[in-house]
Amino acid sequence: MLTDDNGSTTTNSDDYFYGGNVGHKTDMYAANVFFGGQKGDTGTGDANEEDVYMIGVDTVFNLEALKLTAEIDYFTGDADDNVDAMGLQGFVDAASLPLNDHRWWPSLLRSGR
């Protein structure tokens, strides 16, 4: 539990954060499904409270010469009475080993045949 009342003497407000993660990993990839949420309580008893949730998935593939990382997240909920929290974000990243890094060369090329 975290407080966000900034020392106010008139409002006692608390925010509750929670989440979870489930993952699977092998030599070639790793993947996770995760969720999180924030429940804001203004302490006034009105309906003007924050309820924001998110769910996402990420994965990393190691393909010897190439490492591919991707993630996508979806957000939903209410920031307050008049503002909805909604969104989708994602990214993809690809990285490769330098050509002079011989770890990724096929064995035929390493043997000099």
* pLDDT, tens only, 81-106: 788 889 999 999 999 876 666 565 55
pLDDT digits (tens, 9 = 90+) for 38-85: 887 655 655 567 889 999 999 999 887 788 999 999 999 987 778 888
- Verdict on whether the full-model pTM lies above 0.85: no
DSSP notation for the chain: -EE-STT-SS---EEEEEEEEEEEE-SSEEEEEEEEEEEEE-SS-SS---EEEEEEEEEEEEETTEEEEEEEEEEEEESSSS-B--EEEEEEEEEE--TT-GGGS-HHHHHT-
